[in-house]
Structure formats: C-alpha cells, structure tokens
A and B are shown apart, each in its own frame.
Chain A
Amino acid sequence: MISISIETGLLLSGILFLLGLIGLLVRRNIIFMLMSVEIMLNAAGLAFVIGGSRWAQPDGQVMFIFILTMAAAEVSVGLALILLLYHRFKTVDADAASKMRG
C-alpha cells in the first residue's frame, strides 16, 4: 500500500474544487454547471476522506457517505428543475432564465 502524503491529497482536492468552480463560472450550459457543482462536492468529500485517513478516524469516511447521499438527492432535484427549464425555454442556457417574473 503506497502511502500518499496529506499535502498531495489536499492539493488534488483543491485542484478538483477549483476546476469545478471555474466550470461553474464559465459554462452557460446548465447541465455542465450542475456537473461542476458535483465535482466541487466530491472535492470537498475527498478532503474529508484525506483528513480521516491522516488522523486514522472513521469520521471522514462517514461524512463522505453523507455527502454522497445528499449529492444524489440534490442531483435528482436539480435534474428535475433542468427538465422544467428545458420544457419552458427550449434551451439549456442558464442565462435564458434571467428574468425573475413569469
């Protein structure tokens, strides 16, 4: 078993989080934005796991299970919203839904 130092792990987690964030900010396709949010969630989950292994505690992995569960629920709601958005505007461009009324 190859041990990976905590710095390397946290760096990976940070890079993943930034990638997700950049994706969220630059993409207009709302499906990709949802995916970027998922990447950020997983990056945060990874940080938990790394922290748990560093201090030899199960809490990190427990927390990751929670995050997974929450992400699954969130994605189902998010996808439903995206479907509605598509039905309404015939596009998946997030900026198309910039008007609050109607």
Chain B
Amino acid sequence: MLELLWIVPAVPFLGFLILAFLGKRLSRLTIEIVGVGSIGLSALFAILIAINFMTSPPVGHAFSQTLWVWMNVAGLSPGISFYLDSMTVIFMLVITCVGFLIHLYSAEYMLDEEGYSRFFAYMNLFVGSMLTLVLADNLVLLYLGWEGVGLCSYLLIGFLYKDPANGYAARKAFVVTRVGDTAMGIGLFLLFTKLGTLQIQEMLTMASDTWQVGSPLAIAAAALLLGGAVGKSAQLPLQTWLPDAMAGPTPTSALIHAATMVTAGVYLIARTHVIFELAPIIMTVVAIVGAATLIISGFTALTQTDIKRVLAYSTISQIGYMFLALGVGAWAAGIFHFMTHAFFKALLFLGAGAIIVCLHHEQDMFKMGGLRKKLPVVFWTFLAGSASLAALPLITAGFYSKDAILWYSFSSEQGSPWLWAVALLGAFITSIYTFRMVFITFFGEAKTEVTHRPGNRIKIPLIILGVLSIIGGFIELPHTLGNWPAFSNFMHSALPEIHVPHEIYSIEWVFQIIAGVLTLTGIFIAYQLFLKNTALKDKITQAPISKALNRFWFSGWGFDWIYDRLFVFPYIWLARINKKDVFDLLYSGIALVNRVLHVILSLTQTGRLRWYAVGIVFGAIITLYVVVFA
C-alpha cells in the first residue's frame, strides 16, 4: 500500500494538466468532476496509506520512495523521492482531506464565476505543490514545492485580475514571501556547502554529528531557514501580505490558510528541528516571533470590520501560537494545533464565504446581522468553528491544542512565564474578537436581505468540518483530563519528546482553569459590548485614546505604512529618477556611433559608375604610394 504514495501528489498534478490544457473545451460538470475528483482520489489514497501506516508501521516508522533522480550535478543529486513519517502523514491527511472539502465547496461557490476551469487548475496545482513540499525527502524538492505554492498563491490571489487592486495584492504576496524565500535559498546553499547533502534525514544526522550546540554555523543555518518560514507563514516581520491576500476568492483563502501555504513554515521548522535544536538562541527567537505575532495580530483582528480580514489576522495569530509551540520545543503540540486550526479555520472561511455569497458579496460585518435564523446551517457550523478558535473549554478541538501550547510555553525547559502570559493574553483577545464577529454577524437585527440559499455542496463541507472542529481534539487529552496523549505518541517517531519537569505536572490544572475562565470572560465581554450593551461600546470607542488606538490597530500596527516608506517609496523614487536608464547610455552610445557612420558611408553609394572608378583609382594610388614609399 505504501508503495502507492506517489499517487497522492501525482493525481492533483494530473488534474491540473487536464484542466490547464483542455479546460476550455470541457463542460462545467466535467471540470467539476476532474477538479474535485482529483483531490478526492488523492485524499482517498492518503487515507488508505495513513491507515496502512498506522496499523502496520514500516521499519523505523518511516517509508521512503524514489521515483527517479531529478539531476546529478557536482555531488548534488536530488531525487524525485518521497519520505513518509508520522508527521508527514498528518500533514498529508490534512492537506488532502481539508483540500477536498474546500474543492467540493468551490464547485458550487465558483459556479457563476468566469474562469471555472482556470480556478480548479490553480487549486489542483496548489494542493499538488503543497503535497510535494511535505512529502519531499530532500530540501531541493521541498524548495520546488515551496516555490510552487508561492506561485499558486500569486495566481489565486490575483484570480479576479480585472480589478487592479487584486493584482497588487497578488504581487505583494509574491514579493513579500520572496524575501523569506531568498533567505531560505541561501540557507540551503549554506547547508549544502557545509554538510554536503540536502537529503533531509541524512543532513539532520550529519548536522548533529558535526555541529556543536550553539555553533555559529548552526545558528546561521537555523536563522536562514527561519527567514523562509517567517515569510511563508506570515509571521513578524513579513506578515503584511496575508491580510491583502483576501483579494482572492474565499475558497482560495480557506485553502491558503488552512490546508496549504501558511503552514509550510511550521512544517519546515518541524522537519528541520534538529538544526533548530542546535541553535537554542534561534529557538528562542522562534518563540518570541510567535508570541509577538499572536498578540499584535490579535489586537488588529479586534478592530477589523471586514469579516475576511478578521479571519486573516486570526490566522496570523494562530500560526503565531504554532511558532510559539515550536520555539519552546513542543513540536507535537505545534503540529496538533496545525491540525485543529486547519479544521476550524477552513470552516470559518467557508462559512464566511457562504455568508458573503448569500448577501450579494457583502463583506462588511456591520452590514450583516441577524443571520442566525436565515442561515441555520451556516450559523451552527460557524459557531462550532468560532468556539474552537476561541478555545471554548472541554468541548472544542481548539481548546485541547491551544491549552497544550499554553501549558508548554510555561512548563517546557525553553518556556518562560512571560511567553505564557503573552499567549494567555492572546487567547483572551482571541475569544473577544471571535465572538465579536459571531455576535455582529449572526445576532441583532438583519441589515441586508438574504438573496441566496447555500446548496448541498456548500453545506456538506461545512458540517463535516464543524464536526471535526469539535471532536478533532479528543485524540490528545492532557494529563488532567483523561491523560490520553495518542497524538503526541504517534508523533514521537518523527519529533522529539518535550521535557517537562515532573513536579510541575501537579499544578497543570491551575493553568487550565485560568485559561478557561479567561476564554469565557472574553466571550462574556464580547456579548456585553457587541450585543447587549452597545451603548457602552460606543462610549468606549468614542474616547479619543481608543479612537487613536483603533486607527493604529486597524492599520495592522502601521507595518504597511513603515514598509511603504522604508522600501516601496525609495524604490519607486529610484525607478523614477532612473527612468532613462543610466546604465543603458553606454550601449545606446555604441549604437549611435554606428548609426552616424552608416549615414556618412551611405552618402558615397551614389550608383554612379564613374565615381566608383574614381574611388578605385584613388585607392590604387594610395596603395601604390604606401607600397613604394613607406
């Protein structure tokens, strides 16, 4: 069964090829069957392979498969080869299954849009690239998937290319992530020069053999890889592209946020965890970046009015939690949060998309309201997703994964009370902005007429994801609540265990109660401010200081403003003063000299035979003179 691993990424690529080359001639139904079916088939194989992997694990809990050697140059011979271990299984399952549900949803969502086949072609390529990224057994193939994902995000964000703003958002996403990709590229060069191989497992063994903990080379390599991860996963300081990526169609956002792209950074760090463990200082940086990102984007989400932008900032914030987990060495907890986040964030985006399409493409939350009765399926599933995002205690998946991160950020050897406090504040903010969104959108009075009812292909993915957002967390129960760490046990063959001093375990329940109470308080505050007692909210927001804060947070803490002034404006200025291209003058000068000579010489071409004869005579005389006298 495991030998069929290659089918998982191959089918989406095949779907892409069919849709890209024949898309214009196919009917909508055929496009749907190819586009959705390819991911469905891929998901089916992924599930079968995963079951096979779990029931009869291969030797060493890892399986690798080489299809062919990609190239062989000067000691570098990356193969088109895949590597499957327990972490990859989780990523593969989430990408294909959540990806399939998003594709199923898109089949209805995009039905009236132009470029139906183009959309599915890009989506299939996106899933195929992401699968290549996670299944790659060497960093070169991983980089291919990495860049493929970047390309597809560009294509999909700018999908509705007739509006120039969408093209701008697409370019922004491409350029900003490129900054990180360059750092990662340099990191790969460094690893190859110093370790002589880019086969991930071989390289990790070699790194721990040759490098000391804290050696400068390990720190440089880890920092460069972190640069790539930060760009793709939209963490500080490269987070600015993700909110603008909302320009793409909503299923695209769901795919980017939940199943592909932004989790690539988390995957990269977890995959190369050995290098990060050799550079403890970079581990701390990862944790701090995660903590700073989660708090900054949490506050930003609190002020947004566009429902998709709230979700975008919440994604940045939740990935911040994953980075925090990775940074404190809680590898399994980070991957666990990735999985639950994929469920509830895909659900929330798909739910938001359903609302948007039912309200005539209205995205402003304050023009929604009262949708609870009119869109019951969307409401209940959205509520499940929101509860999971806000980590409602005991019953949601988000609680179990976020609680693990909060706990390890305090108790792990690399953790600290400060990280825990920031993460706790972030969790509090998360519950406020999540339920602010729920109360404004679904409760209160209706402000826009519902003109459209979602069909089955929209409802089914929502319901499945809603169920997963609730029960997805029960596969990892903390010590205080049943002590059934099935997920982290499964992870241990791929990722190292976290070390927690035993005596702290006795107080774990205190932390859980604090987190739970804060979440409930956050929901209560949101209920008071945005539903029950809106006069109080108005009073708070009218104060001058909160107005200024609101503006500051709304703009995403002014990062766009700073980057515009630091990088964009100087570049545009340079481009403007160099409009005539100074460096081109030399070459155009050569061309000019030739042109002048040409004009002069062509004057002698009169066509009069006797003039030519005179020319010959003078030439002969000069030649004779030179021969005889010189």
Contact = CB atoms under 8 A, between A and B. Distances in A.
Interface residues of B, number: 9
Contacts of A30: 609
Nearest to A24: B613
A83 B610 CA distance: 19
Contacts of A99: 607
A30 B610 CA distance: 10
Interface in A51-90: none
A38 B439 CA distance: 110
Contacts of A100: 605, 607
Contact of A95 (B608, B614, B617): B608
Contacts of A98: 606-609
Contacts of A33: 609-610
Nearest to A30: B609
Main secondary structure of the interface of B (DSSP, over half): helix
Main secondary structure of the interface of A (DSSP, over half): helix
B90 to A, nearest CB: 77
B624 to A, nearest CB: 13
A21 B620 CA distance: 12
Interface in B595-613: 605-610, 613
B613 to A, nearest CB: 6
A24 B610 contact: yes
A25 interface: yes
Interface in B377-406: none
A11 interface: no
Contacts of A92: none
A35 interface: no
A45 B614 CA distance: 22
A97 interface: yes
Contact of A21 (B607, B608, B617): B617
B607 A97 contact: yes
Contacts of B607: 97-100
A25 B610 contact: yes
Q: Which of B610, B614, B617 has the most CB of A within 10 A?
A: B610
A92 B256 CA distance: 84
A94 interface: yes
A94 B610 CA distance: 8
B623 to A, nearest CB: 15
B332 to A, nearest CB: 83
A23 B66 CA distance: 87
Nearest to B617: A21
Contacts of B605: 100
A100 B612 CA distance: 14
Given A33-B610, A94-B610, A98-B607, 11 more contacts: A24-B610, A25-B613, A25-B614, A25-B617, A30-B609, A94-B608, A95-B608, A98-B606, A98-B608, A98-B609, A100-B605
26 contacts: A21-B617, A24-B610, A24-B613, A25-B610, A25-B613, A25-B614, A25-B617, A28-B610, A30-B609, A33-B609, A33-B610, A94-B608, A94-B609, A94-B610, A95-B608, A95-B609, A95-B610, A97-B607, A97-B609, A98-B606, A98-B607, A98-B608, A98-B609, A99-B607, A100-B605, A100-B607
Interface of B: 605-610, 613-614, 617
9 closest A-B pairs by CB: A98-B607, A94-B609, A98-B608, A24-B613, A100-B607, A95-B608, A99-B607, A25-B610, A25-B613
